[in-house]
Amino acid sequence: MRLIVAEKPSLARAIAEALPTPATRREGYLEAGDTWISWCLGHLLEQAPPERYDPRYKQWRLDDLPIVPQRWELMPRSQARGQIAVLRKLLKQASSVIHAGDPDREGQLLVQEALEYLGWRGRVERLLVQDLNRPAVARALGNLEDNERYRALYEAAQARARADWLYGINLTRAWTLIGRQAGYDGLLSVGRVQTPVLGLVVRRDREIAAFEPKPFYVVWADLEVAEGRLRAWWLPDESQPLDEQGRLLDPRPAQKLVQQLPGASGHLSELEQKRKRQAAPLPYSLSALQVDAARRHGLSAKRVLDVCQSLYERHQLITYPRSDCRYLPRAHHREAARTLPSACRGDSTLSAWIDAADFNLRSKAWDDAKVGAHHALAPTGRTADMNKLSQDEANLFRLIARNVIAQFYPALETFETQATFVILEERFQAKGREILEPGWKPLFTTRDEAPPLPPLTRGEPAKVLDATCEEKETRPPEPFNDASLIKAMMNIARYVEDPEVRRTLRDTDGLGTEATRAGILETLLTRGYLVRDKKALRATRTGHALIDSLPAAATRPERTALWEQRLSAMADNQDAPAPFLTALVADLQGLLGEASASRMNDALRAARQREAPEAPASPKRGTKRRTSSRSTASPRRRKSGESASSTSSSNRRRKPKRSS
């Protein structure tokens, strides 16, 4: 018998439906002719806790750190024992095995680690399914590959899991212990992604708290030109008192100029006019969708991920959602004239957009060279019954479909003008934009554009009809919200101070992955390090104290972003796990050497004096704390995230759920 091991039951069902023989349901698997299709339940296995390596690690002691296993062990997750037994029985009878994990680093790991744990030594083929529609699954079944081709991807995922365990276990234990010495009786978890994200929010909150608004002044003048009127703004030169953004800080020059302007004459000294073409926004990656959905529909990043999983697994309306790619395969372009109308005919808005689409157009979104393990989110072609979707499901499906439909619309064409006038020896500037071809733009907004400038000719005269000096005030940076924090994680190079590292990180995937970013935000909220203040995300006093007590390097994004870079290199067979883990242990020893109870005490004292929200109450000493090794990011699967359980089962009082 041939055994196919899928990542989850929904994928197993989709595979069974694509086979020529109807499937029969068995206990823990499906049987279709000479094929068994079974499944994992996300990760069936987890990293063994420290006490599995040595019983003395049941008690947390600084002297035992760092804990570094010499031979790594996995153990079954408690809720997965039954399914492990099913797979063990099937593997003993199987003649061949097909790995059908999701087409990414973590999907490669969770099936392959189960096969190796259960002792399978035969050849394994790899099935890569991008969407769950029967034709797509059938095509994938006809294009099996040798799983050995993906050995490097597996080793990269395995290195990630071990590195997260090392980092989370050791630093969480260390900082929880020094927290106790300083009088804080709660868990202080540290993670290679979670903590830098918290650091971003803490630093933003402090910028806002320290911000002192300052007035600045702008002058505009209404001008009469040969063929109409326009408004132009004064461009003060460097002889004026300006801030670093070129804003005028002293009202007196502005007030003096305004008194002289009415009736004054000048001329158009510089005229720049350009015709521009702008292609449609690319189809969505998960993070790009999370940013847009937060702005348009007020959805949290976690909610977007959950809804996308429902659209993918339950409704089978979209392709694999945990994608970091914004491009589509060329083969999808050939099928789009059939799949998109079929997918969208259940919605009047989408149908109207489809009717105006030109399927002969090919945008830059169709690029095989830029498609890796995943492609961008797209409709599968199954018709969406909008009456059976929740409001959130319908809203996200429309967004995903819209961005793909937009690829079959012409480019947005505009005529942009920048005019500079000289009046009373001072420069004034006006800008205008005229839409020549709306193209894809109406699919994204119905807002009216600002009126274009009247026709202009270089050197023509201009007369001031009116002028005003307006007092404005500098504004603090906006607090982070779900959209802006996800965007910051995607574009983490902007928050890196070292110019060399910043250049390196511009081409990486940022902080965290598509699959983990939503879970990281929810973990910080659950652990009381962040709170939601309306739509804003703010750090609590506990969050501030934790960041202040840690070495600065542990709170900034450089380390974890460079981790992801090395993991990507491993997945591409350009790096090896052993040197990476050896360097990490050396790094950990340096960080642990900076654990200081006195520094923690100072941080806690400072936090109590801050204008920051309180964290949820911590358990009192002597009380028991029920915990689970399951991820707070996903109740069913920990996907390419950080380490799971970081403590022993006997240390119930302050045992963390995960060190991430």
pLDDT recorded at residue 628: 32
- 327 is a catalytic site residue: no
Contact 117, 17 (CB under 8 A): no
Domain extent for 38: 2-143
Residue whose entry in the numeric block shows the structure tokens 């319908």: 394
What's the pLDDT score for residue 504?
64
Question: What CATH number has the domain bearing residue 325?
Answer: 1.10.290.10
Residue 587's Cβ-count burial label (10 Å; 0-12, 13-18, 19+) is middle
Q: C-alpha distances in angstroms, 195 versus 535, 543, 581? A: 21, 9, 20
Q: How many CB atoms lie within 10 A of CB 458?
A: 13
Question: Which residues are CB-neighbours of 386 under 8 A, at least 6 positions away?
Answer: 346, 347, 394
Specify the number of domains making up the chain: 4
Q: Is residue 648 part of a domain?
A: no
Which residue positions in the chain have pLDDT lower than 50? 618-660
Are both 303 and 380 inside the same structural domain? Answer: yes
Question: What would the two tokens of residue 490 be?
Answer: 């995607």
Same domain, 196 and 316: no
Here the tokens at position 525 are 């909220």
- Domain closes at, from 376, 392, 408: 408
Last residue of a domain, one of 608, 625, 650: 608
Claim: this prediction has a pTM higher than 0.75: yes
Looking at residue 98, which CATH number applies to its domain?
Answer: 3.40.50.140
Residues 10 and 139 in one domain: yes
| Cα distance between residue 204 and residue 444, in whole Å | 31
Residue 174 phi, psi dihedral angles, 5° rounding: -60, -50
- C-alpha angle 568-574-580 in degrees, rounded to nearest 5: 70
Same domain, 392 and 421: no
Amino acid 506: pLDDT: 67
Whether 476 and 208 have beta carbons less than 8 Å apart is answered as yes
Q: What is the pLDDT at residue 508? A: 63
Q: What is the pLDDT of residue 507?
A: 62
Q: Is residue 11 part of a domain?
A: yes
Q: Around Cβ 319, how many Cβ atoms within 10 Å?
A: 26
Q: Is residue 624 part of a domain?
A: no
Which of 408, 425, 443 delimits the end of a domain?
Answer: 408
Kindly report, residue by residue over 197-248, the tens digit of the pLDDT: 999 999 999 999 999 999 999 999 999 999 999 999 999 998 999 998 899 9
Q: What is the CATH number of the domain that holds 574?
A: 1.10.460.10
Structural domain contains residue 647:
no
Question: Does residue 616 sit within a domain?
Answer: no
Structure tokens at 244: 């670093």
Choose, from 167, 184, 320, 409, the residue flagged as catalytic.
320
Q: Name the DSSP class of 594.
A: T
> Facing residues of 69 across strands?
none
The angle that helices 301-309 and 391-405 make with each other, rounded to 10 degrees, is: 80
